[in-house]
């Protein structure tokens, strides 16, 4: 085993690919070959030489770009949940490193790596793949719905979800840093870029504000705080999203936010109707 200087890790990985005669095993949770044509050419040349290539990547809804890039090389990725290991080897040598096969890692990151040449060391790398990776390969990718949520912009997801829920066209638009939309009432959806907390507000009248306690007693939101001022009722998240950019939050977060928003719209619509139906009784 020999430590590889950070500036030499990429060239050693490329050497490994180019020197392979029988097989190559590439284990990289995250993959991005954009503006890194050299490695794509070397992998394609290895395929042309008849080298068998096994490519392992991480299975996450948000990691779809990694396996799509592997497929673009004509390879079928082996997808594993929670994969974090990075190693690369052929029949002659192997590399264990902190480096994913990412353009950013190739250009900017300070990575660690070590290279192995002995038959015993290569046997241990093969054993690791056989024991820990192969049994955990997922046979199917995320559902079409999950991939849609991962790929699509949040405003489009919200617009489509509300349109389908309420059987009407609901347009969402960014205005002054806030997402605005209308479903028989004006609503505002926003995220605080500093705290990553989300809030949704719906415009209300004076009568609706006066009876806000009825809304708070009747409608509950898991993970959200309900409050009001003279102009609006709003729900604010008690949890922080994983990213301040709504396009890059997780699939589960997107699903929770659009479902909760739809529930809030539905509840507020019902509450508004009740306010005016019971106006004389409540007053």
pLDDT at 241: 97
Q: Quick check: 77 and 64 in contact, CB under 8 A?
A: no
Structural domain containing residue 255:
144-282
pLDDT at 282: 63
CATH label of the domain that carries residue 13:
3.30.870.10
Q: Which residues pair with 25 in a beta bridge?
A: 54, 89
The residue among 82, 109, 136 that closes a domain is 136
pLDDT at 277: 84
pLDDT in tens, 186-216: 999 999 999 999 999 999 999 999 999 999 9
Q: Are residues 43 and 157 in the same domain?
A: no
Q: Quick check: 65 and 36 in contact, CB under 8 A?
A: no
Q: Are residues 176 and 236 in the same domain?
A: yes
173, pLDDT greater than 90? yes
Q: Quick check: 255 and 157 in contact, CB under 8 A?
A: no
Q: Are residues 88 and 27 in the same domain?
A: yes
Q: Are residues 174 and 44 in the same domain?
A: no
Cα-based torsion angle of the residue sequence 248, 251, 253, 254 in order, rounded to the nearest 10 degrees: 80
Q: What is the average pLDDT across 234-244?
A: 96
Rounded to a whole number, what is the largest CA-CA distance in the chain? 88
70, pLDDT greater than 70? yes
Q: Which residues pair with 52 in a beta bridge?
A: 23
Q: Are residues 177 and 259 in the same domain?
A: yes
Q: Are residues 100 and 207 in the same domain?
A: no
pLDDT in tens, 5-61: 998 999 999 999 999 999 999 999 999 999 899 999 999 999 999 999 999 999 999
The total of structural domains in the chain comes to 2
Percentage of the chain modeled with pLDDT above 90: 90
Q: What is the chain written as a DSSP string?
A: -EEEPGGGHHHHHHHHHHH-SSEEEEE-SSEE-TT-HHHHHHHHHHHHTT-EEEEEEE--GGGHHHHHHHHHTT---EEETT----EEEESS-EEEES--EEHHHHHT----EEEE-SHHHHHHHHHHIIIIIGGGB-SSPPPHHHHHHHHS-HHHHHHHHHHHHHTS----EEETTEEEEESSSEEEEEE-TTT--EEEEEE--HHHHHTHHHHHHH---TTEEEEE-SSEEEEEESS--S-SSGGGS-HHHHHHHHHHHHHHHHHHHHHHHHHHHSHHHH-
Q: Are residues 276 and 149 in the same domain?
A: yes
**Average pLDDT, rounded, for the chain:** 94
Place 280 in a pLDDT band, splitting at 50, 70 and 90.
low
Distances (CA, A) of 96 to 2, 129, 200, 202: 10, 12, 47, 54
pLDDT at 69: 95
pLDDT at 278: 78
Q: Rounded CA gap, 159 and 227, in Å?
A: 24
pLDDT at 283: 59
Q: What is the average pLDDT across 162-188?
A: 95
CATH label of the domain that carries residue 268:
3.30.1460
């Amino acid at each position: 085993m020999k430590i590889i200087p950070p500036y030499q890790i990429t060239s050693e990985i490329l050497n490994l690919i180019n020197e392979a005669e029988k097989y190559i095993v590439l284990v990289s949770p995250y993959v991005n070959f954009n503006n890194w044509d050299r490695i794509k050419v070397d992998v394609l040349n290895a395929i042309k030489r008849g080298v068998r290539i096994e490519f392992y990547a991480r299975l996450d809804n948000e990691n779809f770009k990694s396996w799509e890039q592997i497929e673009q090389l004509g390879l079928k990725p082996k997808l594993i949940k929670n994969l974090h290991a990075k190693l690369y080897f052929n029949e002659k040598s192997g590399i264990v490193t902190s480096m994913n096969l990412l353009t950013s890692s190739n250009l900017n990151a300070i990575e660690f790596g070590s290279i192995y040449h002995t038959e015993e060391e290569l046997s241990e790398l093969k054993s690791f793949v056989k024991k820990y990776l192969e049994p955990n390969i997922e046979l199917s990718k995320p559902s079409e719905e999950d991939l849609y949520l991962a790929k699509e912009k949040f405003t489009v997801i919200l617009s489509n979800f509300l349109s389908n829920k309420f059987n009407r066209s609901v347009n969402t638009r960014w205005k002054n840093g806030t997402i605005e939309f209308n479903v028989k009432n004006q609503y505002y959806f926003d995220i605080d870029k500093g705290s990553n907390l989300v809030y949704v507000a719906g415009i209300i009248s004076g009568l609706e504000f006066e009876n806000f306690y009825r809304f708070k007693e009747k409608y509950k939101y898991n993970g959200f705080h309900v409050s009001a001022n003279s102009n609006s009722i709003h729900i604010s998240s008690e949890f922080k999203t994983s990213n301040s950019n709504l396009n890059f939050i997780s699939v589960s977060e997107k699903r929770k936010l659009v479902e909760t928003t739809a529930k809030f719209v539905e509840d507020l619509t019902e509450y508004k109707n009740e306010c005016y139906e019971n106006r004389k009784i409540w007053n």
